């Protein structure tokens, strides 16, 4: 049987979504059909995540779920890609006989070649270990939504003691500015209106190519691209978040006043154990400067609770900080003890019960903070990107304050039919814990 139809399952972060899109483009160029049916697919590719324990479990469950299509469907070959595949290629091959091939994070360019090799030789294939490759600039994406992620760098040089990413994605590598500009122009020409800039650490953009932290220069250029309405920033580490970047966010109209800064903790003892390059005092200075320079700024952050050695005192330091700062958007992870990281063997590991209790405490506090913030939006007007119609004259959209899938939404009431992808002025009439309710301003 000549293999033709390919189905790609994408797990994990937005960086994996881009990798899946690149694989789709490569496969289409090689005359394969991208299928929307698992039952009809001749090849199933699972693009896995292996960042923390919960993500690994989801990936393993999905792989086992896909194996049934080799018996019940038309699947001839099951291929794994992504971080879990890179990290545990031997173990996965040994434990799951239905896996036909594994390609690591730096080998997605080989996806079509691997399928052809399977067709010709019918033997299991493993291609991993090539983690420091350059971005596939020559591959053009083929699927376009109103919002698209754009990767400006890959890999990470931070080596936080809890994190496996440098071993899976390699050292920090910035893309050339001209290549990013070219991609965004291409996306804009295909109807994309919001771009979200991502990387392992986007505030480090350019230091390896231009000997300076050059994200501010990239934003200045992206702001001039016609067709793009919103430019959003994720994964900005605080240590190299300098004045040039703050000024660029403030002055560029298309750059939404929203920053995602994963702080992970605020107690200086824990930050030092995490090998974070910042401290509580500098974090507070940065937040205060952002709020002073850009009063409408929305700051999203994430924290890790239950890191080895996190005493009750250290946790309360974090809890008090959350209460004082009142972040508009906040997420909490429990520490995941990952093999091949320094923190794996740290003393004073903390029980899952205590970790979960601490996570729940912060999220309960954040729920109250969020409700107060949402309440204060009532009566105000916002530009809303309309994304979905859900019946009964109600649409779902987002303001500049909300990143897709991780933040809240706005439920928009409109008697008049709205066009998905349009930006509509909406007056907020009510609120929920994390979401807003509004009506179109006629």
State yes or no: 163 annotated in a binding site.
yes
What is the Cα gyration radius of the chain?
Answer: 23
**Burial tier of 98 (Cβ tally within 10 Å: 0-12, 13-18, 19+):** middle
The SS3 of residue 62 is: helix
Alpha helices in 96-156 (DSSP H): 111-121
Residue in 196, 120, 149 with CA at minimum distance from that of residue 20: 149
Retrieve residue 244's tokens: 């040039």
The Cα–Cα gap between 85 and 92 comes to 8
**Burial tier of 288 (Cβ tally within 10 Å: 0-12, 13-18, 19+):** exposed
State yes or no: 357 annotated in a binding site.
no
State yes or no: 83 annotated in a binding site.
yes
Residues 6+ apart with CB under 8 A from 368: none
State yes or no: 390 annotated in a binding site.
no
Sign of CA dihedral 168, 171, 174, 179: negative
Annotated binding-site residues for [4Fe-4S] cluster read: 13, 49, 83, 156, 160, 163
Annotated binding-site residues read: 13, 49, 83, 156, 160, 163
């Amino acid at each position: 049987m000549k293999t033709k139809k390919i189905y790609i399952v994408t797990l994990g972060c937005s960086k994996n979504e881009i990798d899946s899109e690149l694989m789709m483009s490569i496969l289409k160029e090689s005359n394969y059909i991208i299928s929307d049916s698992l039952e009809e697919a001749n090849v199933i590719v699972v693009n896995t995540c292996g960042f923390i324990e919960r993500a690994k479990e989801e990936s393993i469950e999905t792989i086992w779920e896909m194996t049934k299509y080799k018996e019940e469907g038309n699947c001839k070959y099951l291929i794994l890609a992504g971080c879990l595949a890179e990290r545990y290629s031997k173990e996965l091959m040994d434990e799951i006989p239905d896996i036909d091939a594994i390609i690591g994070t730096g080998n997605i360019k080989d996806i079509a070649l691997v399928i052809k090799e399977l067709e010709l030789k019918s033997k299991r294939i493993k291609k991993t270990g090539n983690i420091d490759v350059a971005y596939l600039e020559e591959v053009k994406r083929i699927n376009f939504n109103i919002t698209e992620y754009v990767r400006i760098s890959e890999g990470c040089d931070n080596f936080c003691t809890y994190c496996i990413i440098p071993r899976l994605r390699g050292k920090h590598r910035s893309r050339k500015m001209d290549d990013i500009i070219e991609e965004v122009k291409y996306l804009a020409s295909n109807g994309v209106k919001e771009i979200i800039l991502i990387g392992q650490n986007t505030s480090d953009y350019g230091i390896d190519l231009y000997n300076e932290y050059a994200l501010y220069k990239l934003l200045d250029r992206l702001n001039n691209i016609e067709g793009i309405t919103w430019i959003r920033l994720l994964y900005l580490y605080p240590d190299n978040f300098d004045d040039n970047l703050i000024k660029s966010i403030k002055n560029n109209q298309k750059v939404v006043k929203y920053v995602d800064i994963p702080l992970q903790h605020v107690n200086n003892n824990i930050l030092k154990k995490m090998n974070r390059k910042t401290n509580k005092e500098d974090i507070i200075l940065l937040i205060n400067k952002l709020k002073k320079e850009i009063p409408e700024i929305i700051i999203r952050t994430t924290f890790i609770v239950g890191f080895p050695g996190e005493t009750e005192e250290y946790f309360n330091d974090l809890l008090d900080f959350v209460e004082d700062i009142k972040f508009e958007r906040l997420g909490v992870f429990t520490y995941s003890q990952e093999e091949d990281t320094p923190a794996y063997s740290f003393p004073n590991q903390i029980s899952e019960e205590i970790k979960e209790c601490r996570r729940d405490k912060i999220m309960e506090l954040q729920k109250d903070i969020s409700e107060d913030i949402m309440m204060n939006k009532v009566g105000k007007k916002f530009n809303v990107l309309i994304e979905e119609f859900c019946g009964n004259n109600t649409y779902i959209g987002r303001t500049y304050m909300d990143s897709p899938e991780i933040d809240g939404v706005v439920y928009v009431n409109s008697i008049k039919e709205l066009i998905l992808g349009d930006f509509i002025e909406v007056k907020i009439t009510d609120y929920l814990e994390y979401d807003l309710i509004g009506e179109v301003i006629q």
